[in-house]
Amino acid sequence: MKEKFVTYIRQLQNTITSKLEEIDGTATFKEDLWKRKEGGGGRTRVIENGAVFEKGGVNISEVHGKLPETMQQYFGVKDADFFACGLSLVLHPINPMVPTVHANWRYFEMYNAEGDIVDQWFGGGQDLTPYYLFEEDARHFHTICKTACDKHNTSFYPTYKARCDEYFYNAHRGEGRGIGGLFFDYCKVSDEMKMQDWYNFVTEIGDSFLEAYVPIVENRKNLSYTETQKHWQEIRRGRYVEFNLVHDKGTLFGLKTNGRIESILMSLPPKVQWVYDHQPDAGSEEEKLVKVLKNPKDWIK
C-alpha cells in the first residue's frame, strides 16, 4: 500500500504543479529535494512572486524510522517504528478576491519490534479560506467535495464536512479558519472499508482538487481590488498563521519527528499583519465573512 500511495502522490504533485504554473503564467515552481537523516526525505516545490500566486507550495514527503518518544506517548505505544508519506499544499494568491486553499492527503504505518504492521491509516482533506465571500464559489468547492465523497459513501460528505468545520477552528478567536471543505483522519480497516477502499476514496478526493479550486481562481484572479482590501487580506492571513502554529496537528507532527522546517513552514504567507483589536465595519463585506466564519453554513443547501 505504501508503495502504491507514494507513486500516486508523486504523479499528483506533477499534475497539480503543472496546472498551477499554467494558471500563473509567469512564475514556476522551484524544486528542492531533501533527505532526513533518520530516514526518508521529500520533494518540495515552491512558487513565489508570480502573476497570480504570491506564495505557494506543493510538497511530498516519505519519512520513516523510530517514532520519537513524544509521539509514542501521543499514540500510546512503546518502541514503535513508523512510515509516513503524503502530499501537502497551500496556495496564497495575490488578489484578495481569490481564496487561499489548503489540501493534504497522507498515509501512515506503524510497526512493532519485529517489523510487522500494527496500525495503518489514511487521512487528509481540502479546505478553502476566502478573504471576501462569494457564495457561488463556496457552493462550487463544496459541491465538488460532495460529488467525490458520494461516489464512495453518501455519509462521507456530511461527516467530513462537519469534522473540517470543527478541526480548522481558531478556538481562541471563536471562528473558523475558512469556509471548510473536508477533513478525515485515522481511516482504517472496518467491516465496510478495506485499505484498498480507503485508497480509492482518498485518491478520488486528491484527483478532485483542481476541479474544486481552479475555476474559482480563473473567475477571480483579474478582479480589481483596493489597498484597503489588500490590508484586510493580510490581517486575515494572520489568523491563518495562528491556526497553523497553535492548533495544526500536521505542523506538530513534523516538528516532533525532526521534519524539515522549510517544508513544514512553507504554508505561512509572506506578508501578514496583526492589527490591535481590529474590527470590520458594520454591514461591510469584511463583516459578512466574519459572521460566516463564526457560524459555519451548509453550502450545498
Average pLDDT over residues 27-33: 97
Residue at 106 is within a domain = yes
Residue at 299 is within a domain = no
Grid coordinates 497553523 are at which residue? Answer: 244
The pLDDT value given to residue 176? 96
Q: What percent of the chain has pLDDT over 90?
A: 81
Tell me which residue range forms the domain holding 276. Answer: 2-294
Question: Does the predicted model carry a pTM greater than 0.85?
Answer: yes
Residue at 301 is within a domain = no
Flag the least confident range among 135-139, 191-195, 244-248.
244-248
Q: Work out whether strand 40-48 and strand 53-66 pair parallel, antiparallel, or are unpaired.
A: antiparallel
**Predicted confidence band of residue 262 (pLDDT cuts 50, 70, 90):** confident
**How crowded is residue 234: how many other Cβ atoms within 10 Å of its Cβ?**
17
Number of domains present in the structure of the chain: 1
Grid coordinates 505542523 are at which residue? Answer: 251
The pLDDT value given to residue 33? 95
Element (H, E) at 196: helix 195-220
Please indicate whether residue 64 is annotated as part of the active site.
Answer: no
**Predicted confidence band of residue 10 (pLDDT cuts 50, 70, 90):** very high
Average pLDDT, the chain: 94
Residue at 300 is within a domain = no
CATH of residue 50: 3.40.1500.10
Residue at 12 is within a domain = yes
**Predicted confidence band of residue 59 (pLDDT cuts 50, 70, 90):** very high
Cα 274–chain centre separation: 23
- The CA distance from 166 to 107, in Å, is 22
Residue at 289 is within a domain = yes
- pLDDT tens, 95-130? 999 999 999 999 999 998 888 898 999 999 999 999
CB within 8 Å of 68: residues ≥ 6 apart:
256, 257, 258
- pLDDT tens, 46-58? 999 999 999 999 9
**Predicted confidence band of residue 69 (pLDDT cuts 50, 70, 90):** confident
- pLDDT tens, 131-165? 999 999 999 999 999 999 999 999 999 999 999 99
- Are 244 and 267 a contacting pair, CB within 8 Å? yes
- Are 56 and 92 a contacting pair, CB within 8 Å? yes
Burial class (CB in 10 A: 0-12, 13-18, 19+), 247: middle
- The CA distance from 211 to 202, in Å, is 15
**Predicted confidence band of residue 267 (pLDDT cuts 50, 70, 90):** confident
- The CA distance from 130 to 98, in Å, is 7
Element (H, E) at 164: helix 156-167
- Are 273 and 234 a contacting pair, CB within 8 Å? yes
Q: What angle do CA 193, 165, 160 make, to 5 degrees?
A: 10
List the beta bridge partners of residue 106: 86, 123
Which of the residues 102, 140, 172, 247 is marked catalytic? 102
70 pLDDT above the threshold of 90: no
Q: Is 133 helix (H, G, I), strand (E, B) or coil?
A: coil
**Predicted confidence band of residue 5 (pLDDT cuts 50, 70, 90):** very high
- Are 182 and 145 a contacting pair, CB within 8 Å? yes
Q: Which of 3, 71, 44 is nearest to 250 (CA)?
A: 71
